Amino acid sequence: MTETMVSTDRLTRRYGTRVVVDAVSLTVHKGEVYGFLGPNGAGKTTTLRMILGLVRPTAGTATVAARRTGALIEGPGFFPYLSGRDNLRVLARHRALPDTAADAALDRVGLDGGAAFRTCSLGMKQRLGVAAALLGDAELLVLDEPTNGLDPGGMAAMRGLLRDLAAEGRTVLLSSHLLGEVQEICDRVGVITGGRLVAESTVAAIRGAGTLFVRAAPVDVAAAVAARFGAVTESDGGLRCDSPAPPLVQALVRAGVEVHEVRTVERSLSDVFFELTEDLA
C-alpha cells in the first residue's frame, strides 16, 4: 500500500486580494520523488513554505507525516569564509546534533567539505544545501529548485543524488520550472499554474499513452479505416491516429492496406505542460 507522506487539502494563500495559491490538493507518497512543476510565479515556493509551516495558509490544510523533515528553500545562510564542513557543523550545533551528523551528511552527498563556501562551485553549494537538509537523517526532503542554475554535469549529479536518496526510502518533494529535469528525476508530478494545481499524476500518465504514427498506402483508405478508431490527422507523410496499435493494424491489413510503419509518438512533458497552461491563459 502507498503511504502518504505529504498531503494538502484545498491549501490556499492570499496576499491582499491576490490568490497566490488557490485550493491546491496534492499528495506525495512515501519514498517517491515528487516534482512540483510550474512557471515562475505559479505559487510553488509559497506552497512549499506552507507545507513546511513557514507561511500560514489563508484556508485549507497541509499535513506532513514525516517525523524528520529537511528543507532547502532559497538557499540556507552559509558563512562565506567557513568551509562546507564547518558550516554544516554550525547548523548541526544549532540543532543540538553532534559534529558527526554534519560529517555523515557531507559523506552522503559526496563532498569532502574542505573548501571555503565562497570558493565552491554552484553545484557544490547546492549539494551542501542538500546535505544541510539531510542533517539529522531527514526522511522527507523539501527542495525548492535544487537544480536551478546548474550546468548539465551538475544537474546529472544532483539527479543521481536525489534518486539515490529516494532509493534509500526517503521522500523527495522538489519544485522546478524545468520540464526535462522533472521528467527524468520524478516518479510523479504536480503541475501548478496561476496558483492552481492543473494536473497530478505519474510522468507517464500525464504524457498519455501517446498517439500512433502510421505510414501506409493507399493513404486515403488507411485514413478511412483509422477514422473508425479515433481522431486521424495527416502529418509528415503519414497519419497520426488516436488508437491502440493492434486492432488498427489488423483492420488496415484486412482492408488490403500496405502498412509500412507504425510507431508510438509520445508527447513530451513540455507539450503537455503547455497544453495545460494554455487552457488557463
Stretch that binds ligand ATP, among 33-41, 65-73, 114-122, 270-278 (CB under 6 A): 33-41
Stretch that binds ligand ATP, among 37-45, 83-91, 153-161, 271-279 (CB under 6 A): 37-45
Q: Which position has the grid cell 525548492? A: 144
C-beta of residue 192 within 8 angstroms of C-beta of residue 47: yes
- 43 is an interface residue for ligand ATP by CB under 6 A: yes
Residue in 179, 76, 80 with CA at minimum distance from that of residue 127: 76
Torsional sign, CA 118, 72, 185, 48: negative
- 146 is an interface residue for ligand ATP by CB under 6 A: no
Give the residue with the Cβ less far from ligand ATP, 139 or 144.
Answer: 144
Which x/- pattern, by CB under 6 A, does the window 44-73 give for ligand ATP?
xxx---------------------------
Stretch that binds ligand ATP, among 36-44, 95-103, 166-174, 221-229 (CB under 6 A): 36-44
**Cβ 270 to ligand ATP shortest distance, Å:** 17
- 41 is an interface residue for ligand ATP by CB under 6 A: yes
- 149 is an interface residue for ligand ATP by CB under 6 A: no
Give the residue with the Cβ less far from ligand ATP, 132 or 174.
Answer: 174
Single out the residue of 42, 64, 104, 248 in contact with ligand ATP (rule: CB under 6 A). 42
Stretch that binds ligand ATP, among 39-47, 95-103, 200-208, 240-248 (CB under 6 A): 39-47
Measured distance CA(196)–CA(21) in Å, rounded: 6
Measured distance CA(194)–CA(80) in Å, rounded: 36
Measured distance CA(255)–CA(253) in Å, rounded: 5
- 20 is an interface residue for ligand ATP by CB under 6 A: yes
Phi, psi values for residue 34, rounded to 5°: -110, 125
Q: Sheet holding 211-217: strands in order across? A: 232-235, 238-241, 211-217, 258-265
Measured distance CA(156)–CA(143) in Å, rounded: 16
Measured between alpha carbons, how far is residue 179 from residues 125, 189, 223 in Å?
23, 10, 34
Stretch that binds ligand ATP, among 41-49, 80-88, 134-142, 196-204 (CB under 6 A): 41-49
**Cβ 75 to ligand ATP shortest distance, Å:** 12
Long-range contacts of the stretch 251-255 (C-beta < 8 A, 24+): 251/225, 252/214, 252/216, 252/222, 252/225, 252/226, 255/221, 255/222, 255/225
**Cβ 277 to ligand ATP shortest distance, Å:** 12
**Cβ 35 to ligand ATP shortest distance, Å:** 13
- Which residues are at the interface with ligand ATP (CB under 6 A)? 15, 20, 38, 40-46, 177
